Amino acid sequence: MAIFSDDENIQKPLAINKNTKNKNLETKETAFDKSFESNIRPKKLDEYIGQSALKNTLKISIEAAKKRNTPLDHLLFYGPPGLGKTTLASVIANELNANIKITSAPALERPRDIIGILMSLKNGDILFIDEIHRLNKVTEEILYPAMEDFFLDMTTGKAQTVKTLRVPLPKFTLIGATTKAGELSGPLRDRFGIIHRLQFYTTQELSQVVTRTAKILDISVDKEGAAIIASRSRGTPRIANRLVKRVADYAFVKSDGKVDAAVAQEALSALNIDSNGLDGTDKALLKLIIEKYDGGPVGLETLAAALGEDSKTIEDVYEPYLLQEGIIQRTPRGRKISPEGYRLMGYKLPTIQQSLF
Ligand X SMILES: Nc1ncnc2c1ncn2[C@@H]1O[C@H](COP(=O)(O)OP(=O)(O)OP(=O)(O)O)[C@@H](O)[C@H]1O
Catalytic one among 179, 211, 236, 313?
Answer: 179
Give dist(CA 322, CA 14) in Å, integer. Answer: 23
CB under 6 A: which stretch of 39-47, 163-171, 267-275, 290-298 binds ligand X? 39-47
Amino acid identity, residue 213? T
Q: Which is nearest to 12 in space by CA: 37, 35, 33, 29?
A: 29
DSSP annotation string for 206-256: HHHHHHHHHHHTT--B-HHHHHHHHHTSTT-HHHHHHHHHHHHHHHHHHSS
In the complex, minimum distance from the CB of residue 141 to ligand X, in angstroms, rounded to a whole number: 25
> What stretch of H or E contains 331?
strand 328-331
Applying CB under 6 A, the site for ligand X has a residue count of 23
Q: Is 238 a catalytic residue?
A: yes
Window of 65-73, 81-89, 157-165, 251-259 that interacts with Mg ion by CB under 5 A:
81-89
From Mg ion, ligand X, none, interface partner of 316 (C-beta below 5 to 8 A by class): none
> Per CB under 6 A, does 237 bind ligand X?
yes
125 given a catalytic annotation:
no
Please state, in angstroms and rounded to a whole number, the distance separating the CA atoms of residues 349 and 342: 6
Q: What's the rounded Cα separation, in Å, for the pair 16 and 18?
A: 6
Instruction: Tell me which residue has its CB nearest to Mg ion.
Output: 86
Q: Considering CB distances under 5 to 8 angstroms, the limit depending on partner class, which of ligand X, Mg ion, none binds residue 295?
A: none
Binding flag, residue 87, ligand X (CB under 6 A): yes
Selected from 105, 147, 209, 248, the binder of ligand X by CB under 6 A is 209
Distance CA 188, CA 145 (A): 11
Note whether 214 binds ligand X by CB under 6 A.
Answer: no
Q: Among 20, 27, 51, 86, which residue sits at the site for Mg ion (rule: CB under 5 A)?
A: 86
Nearer to ligand X, 196 or 336 (CB): 196
To the query of whether residue 86 is one of the catalytic residues in this protein, the response is yes
CB 291 within 8 A of CB 307: no
State which residue, 31 or 253, has the beta carbon closest to ligand X.
31
Measured CA to CA, the distance from residue 308 to residue 155 in angstroms comes to 48
Q: Does the protein bind ligand X through residue 132 (CB under 6 A)?
A: no
Identity of the residue, 29 or 315, whose beta carbon is nearer to Mg ion in the bound complex: 29
Q: Which stretch binds ligand X (CB under 6 A): 75-83, 298-306, 327-335, 342-350?
A: 75-83
- For ligand X, the binding residue among 17, 20, 86, 281 (CB under 6 A) is 86
Distance of alpha carbon 192 from alpha carbon 36, whole angstroms: 32
The distance of Cα 316 from the centroid of its chain, to the nearest Å, equals: 9
Peptide bond into 297 cis (omega under 30): yes
Binding mask 139-178 for ligand X (x = CB under 6 A): --------------------------------------x-
Integer Cα distance of 107 and 12 in angstroms: 9
Q: Which is nearer to Mg ion, 84 or 341 (CB)?
A: 84
Verify whether residue 20 is a known catalytic residue.
no
Instruction: Kindly report each contact of residues 244-251 with a partner whose C-beta sits within 8 Å and lies 24 or more positions away, as own/partner.
Output: 244/210, 244/213, 244/214, 244/217, 244/219, 245/36, 245/217, 246/24, 246/271, 247/221, 248/214, 248/217, 248/219, 248/221
* Min separation Cβ 224 and ligand X, Å: 20
Q: Which of 41, 238, 246, 312 is catalytic?
A: 238
CA-atom Rg of the chain in angstroms: 23
**Residue numbers at the binding site for ligand X (CB under 6 A):** 27-28, 37, 40-42, 48-51, 81-87, 177, 179, 209, 237-238, 241
Question: Could you list the active site residues?
Answer: 85-86, 130, 179, 238
**Residue numbers at the binding site for Mg ion (CB under 5 A):** 85-86
